[in-house]
Amino acid sequence: MKISKAEVVHVADLARLELDDAAIDRFAGQIDTVLAYVDMLKEADTQGVSPTSHAISLSNAFREDAMKKSLDREAALANAPERDDENFVVPRVIG
C-alpha cells in the first residue's frame, strides 16, 4: 500500500480539507491506486537529466516599471464573503 488512511487524513489537513469517514474510505483506495500506478516513473532512466519545469523556457520576463491603474478598493472587495467599508473580514484568528 502506498498511502494509509491516516496519511490521507494528514495530507488533507495540510491542504485544509476535512474529510468525513466515507470520503476517507473512498479517497484512500482511489489515491492509493493512482500512486501505485505512478510508481512506474521509477523505471525511467533519468540519470543526469535536467527537470523540465516549463516546456518553453523564458528567463527574465521583464517589463517597464511604470505606474498603472490597479483595481480600486470597491472592485477588489465586491466579491468578499464578508467585509466592512475598507477590509476583508475573517473569523477570529487567535483563540
Query: What is the widest separation between alpha-carbon atoms in the chain?
Result: 58
Q: Binding of other proteins at residue 22 (CB under 8 A)? A: no
Q: Binding of other proteins at residue 5 (CB under 8 A)? A: no
- For 28, the grid coordinates are 484512500
* C-alpha span between 75 and 87 (Å, rounded): 12
The number of residues making up the chain comes to 95
- Nearest alpha carbon to residue 28 among 60, 58, 1: 1
Q: Binding of other proteins at residue 12 (CB under 8 A)? A: yes
67 vs 93 by CB, closer to other proteins: 93
The residues binding other proteins (CB under 8 A) are: 3, 7-8, 11-19, 23, 26-27, 30-31, 33-35, 37-42, 44, 46, 49-56, 58, 61, 63, 71, 75-76, 78-82, 88, 90-93, 95
